[in-house]
Amino acid sequence: MRVRINPKFPRALVDTETGHSCWWGDASFALRMRLLPQSLAAALYRDPVPYAAMNCRTSSGLATEKPSFRPKKVLILSKITRYEFEKRVSGEDDDRKLEALLKRRGSDYNHLLKKHQIHQTYLQTIQSELERAGVESKVVQRFDYTEEAVNWADVVMTAGGDGTFLLGASRIHQRNKPVIGINTDPQGSEGYMCLMRKLPKEHFRSALQRLLDGDFHWLYRQRIRITLSGDRQAGVGDSIELHDQQLNRMPATTRWMDGHVTASSAFCHANQGATPPREDGICNVKKSKKRQRSPPERVTMQLPVLALNEVFIGESLSSRVSYYEIQIDNGKMVKQKSSGIAICTGTGSTSWYFNINKLTEQCVSELLRITSEQCNVALPADDKQMVSDICTKFNQQLIFEPDSLRMAFTVRDPIFNATFSPSTPRGFAEKICVKSRGYDAHLVVDGGVSYRFNDGAEATVEVREEDALQTVIFR
């Protein structure tokens, strides 16, 4: 990849071979690109503008008419910096004590403080530029990011990285409430979903002016709708906010403050005739007379959150095998064992899904060498450029348009044997049904919200055009 300066953004770069802009143009870019394998760089770091050339739809994707952006109120969702996180978790208001605590753990207090200050400076820039443009703004963090706050605003801007963007999207349920991401840590965060990727705060004024001038495209990113069914008594539909759970962790232990139940105590609770667990965690189940029990109530519900990146289904502990039945589109239901299933949108195809399935140059080189030996054909296994090109071609086909109405799925570490026949480990689908056979399984939406998904629970995931998220890309 060869680069030159982008004339529209003096610190942005352009790949001279493809003509695509590199929206992360900071001073250390060249060094980082030399460290990253060329095949991964070529697959991941691509200008979103080609989507404009491919799409002319008005119902989804990119609209053809010149867009209008004249908000009166903007809600700014600010990330919780690592410095703020450590202060909250440790309960330390004294920075000297916090510095000593972090030092004992091998963390750099000064680095965290500097990152926090960079974020705050960028945040102030966003506020001041909006005020200069005559736009009222309000800053909230995740604890105050409520439905009421969202309804107050015409537009939601997220100040952080992709994680903050996902949080911002999670509270938006209509197609006419734009979400615009601003990456406030260009050095430390990729910001795939953010408007300016890795451009520093000095470029925010010109970016805002382009928005006000209508020099952009609306991009409607498709999301995954999830319908769950299962026994109400088993807690189907109960959710856990994983980020809030992390923030509520006790400082001196890895156990969560709420909801920590050992397997043995859970078993005793389920078996009401059991004696309380002994110190070793073992309980004794007493035989009791049979009694009449009302049949479990089965409920079906659409989850209140939509997945912008991916849905993961599997056991809570990755070391445990996930057991389930799966149906792809109108195919037959198939039993599978694996390390779980990831189902993603086009937006999520550059994220976890990509990293599960990507080929490395080492793998391609070894495959070429083996193929050469087996087929007695000379193949360029040691040609680094050829190996890199093959890698790039394979990895690029994993990524698809964020406005696509299809989903991609991948089965992590599938188990194939005499009992579980081989099935397609990766592919595309319009609708996927999964029935759980697990006992400590969860369905996780965008890595942020987890739902119980144990034996007998069923999930249907699909993409509906009306669930799309309104976002922005530059022309």
Tens digit of pLDDT at every position of the chain (475 positions) = 444 444 444 444 444 444 444 444 444 444 444 455 666 666 666 554 444 434 434 445 555 578 889 999 999 999 999 999 999 888 888 899 999 999 999 999 999 999 999 999 999 999 999 999 999 999 999 999 999 999 999 999 999 999 999 999 999 998 999 999 999 999 888 888 999 888 999 999 999 999 999 999 999 999 999 999 988 777 777 888 887 777 765 443 343 344 444 444 444 444 444 444 444 444 554 555 555 666 778 889 999 999 999 999 999 988 899 999 999 998 999 999 999 999 999 999 999 999 999 999 999 999 999 999 999 999 999 999 999 999 999 999 999 999 999 999 999 999 988 788 788 899 999 999 999 999 899 999 999 999 999 999 999 999 999 999 999 998 7
CATH of the domain at 377: 2.60.200.30
Give the residue numbers spanning the domain of 57: 3-219
Q: Is 119 left (phi over 0), alpha (psi -120 to 50) or beta?
A: alpha
173 lies in the same domain as 96: yes
Angle at 448 between CA 263 and CA 221, to 5 degrees: 145
- Dihedral sign, CA of 294, 296, 301, 307? positive
CA distance 433 to 453: 13
59 lies in the same domain as 189: yes
Start-to-end C-alpha separation, the chain: 23
User: In the listed set 219, 243, 267, which residue is the last one of a domain according to the structure?
Assistant: 219
CA distance 187 to 175: 32
Give me the DSSP letters along 261-302.
--HHHHHHHHSTTBPPP-TTS---BPP------PPPPEEEEE
CA distance 320 to 413: 12
Q: What is the 3-state secondary structure (H, E, C) of 85-107?
A: HHHHHHCCCCHHHHHHHHHHCCC
Strand ranges inside 268-389, DSSP E: 298-302, 310-315, 322-328, 334-338, 341-344
Task: Report yes or no on 259 lying in a domain.
Answer: no
Give me the DSSP letters along 220-238.
EE--EEEEEEEEGGGTTT-
326 has which bridge partners? Answer: 334, 434
- Answer for the pair 50, 24: CB distance below 8 angstroms, yes or no: no
176 lies in the same domain as 110: yes
188 lies in the same domain as 235: no
CA distance 463 to 419: 32
Query: Residue 143 gets which letter from DSSP?
Result: G
The number of angstroms, rounded, from the C-alpha of 288 to the middle of its chain's C-alpha atoms is 48
CB burial class (10 A; 0-12, 13-18, 19+) of residue 36? middle
211 lies in the same domain as 316: no
Task: Report yes or no on 39 lying in a domain.
Answer: yes
Task: Report yes or no on 234 lying in a domain.
Answer: yes
- Answer for the pair 17, 11: CB distance below 8 angstroms, yes or no: no
24 lies in the same domain as 91: yes
Instruction: Look at residues 442, 406, 451, 449 and name the one whose alpha carbon lies nearest to residue 169.
Output: 449
